Amino acid sequence: MTSPPIPSGLPVPVEGDASVADKARNAGLAREFEAVFLSQFVDEMMSTINYGPVSGGQGAEIWRSFMSQALAEKLSERGGLGLGANIEQMLNAYRG
């Protein structure tokens, strides 16, 4: 399997170059990114559901937002879509 070409302007990854602290920080950033992505994803899915007489209004929008965020955090904790691991790997390869 060949590696994709490195876009110009990005540093060339060096195996084992990131420190332990950088890797821990990158893991946290990757999980946070995936949680935000999942929150937007879940919120968009939930916007298509008709909740009957309690649908609509500012209160329902706020509730849906909180529910989407909570669900996305749980999904992310349980492995999410697998984006976090890939993002973490790329952050470690291209440390800033």
pLDDT digits (tens, 9 = 90+) for 60-73: 788 888 888 888 88
Q: Specify the pTM.
A: 0.60
pLDDT at 82: 82
pLDDT at 57: 76
Domain that holds residue 62: 20-93
Q: Is residue 68 part of a domain?
A: yes
Q: What is the DSSP string of 62-77?
A: HHHHHHHHHHHHHHHH
- Tell me: the pLDDT tens digits for 33-56? 888 888 888 888 888 877 777 677
Q: Is residue 46 part of a domain?
A: yes
Q: Which residue has the tokens 């990005």?
A: 10
* Number of domains, the chain: 1
Q: Which amino acid makes up residue 95?
A: R
**Of the candidates 24, 27, 35, 28, which has an alpha carbon nearest to the alpha carbon of residue 76?**
35
Q: Is residue 3 part of a domain?
A: no
pLDDT at 74: 86
